[in-house]
Amino acid sequence: MSGNNLTSAGLDPRRRRVLFRAWRRGMREMDLVLGQFADMNLAAMSDEELDEFERLLDAPDPLVLSWITGEAPTPADFDTPLFARLRSAPASALTRDAAAP
């Protein structure tokens, strides 16, 4: 599964920008993790969750990836319920992508 499933049609301008940024990272692994998480959650995110997700998008990809994989401790200001959901999502997202033809 490469590319996004959620379309920007019907999304407000802020969510459109966030969706684009989630799928256009510096690392392919982060495209998959953040992009697929955005596909599944963006439309239902509260404004506060959207703020948190945008902060993650502003952080360097290698750093966020190290938090997700547990190679580095997650800073307290990023250790939120939203990040916990994101952290639990990558394994299944990457497995689905690897299984795609």
Q: Which CATH number do you get for residue 36?
A: 1.10.150.250
Higher pLDDT, 74 or 88: 74
Q: What is the mean pLDDT of residues 63-76?
A: 94
Q: What is the mean pLDDT of the chain?
A: 85
For residue 7, tell me if it sits in a domain: no
Written as six digits, the tokens of 79 are 């250790």
| Helices assigned H by DSSP within 1-101 | 13-23, 28-41, 47-58, 61-69, 81-88, 90-99
Query: If we measure between CA atoms, which residue out of 82, 95, 17, 36 comes closest to residue 56?
Result: 82
For residue 49, tell me if it sits in a domain: yes
For residue 58, tell me if it sits in a domain: yes
Domain hosting 94: range is 13-99
How many domains does the chain contain in total?
1
For residue 50, tell me if it sits in a domain: yes
Taking each helix axis as running N to C, give the angle between helix 28-41 and helix 90-99, from 0 to 180 degrees, rounded to the nearest 10.
Answer: 110
For residue 4, tell me if it sits in a domain: no
Q: What is the pTM of this model?
A: 0.80
Q: What is the mean pLDDT of residues 63-83?
A: 94
CA-CA distance, 18 to 42, in Å (whole number)? 8
| Amino acid 26: pLDDT | 84
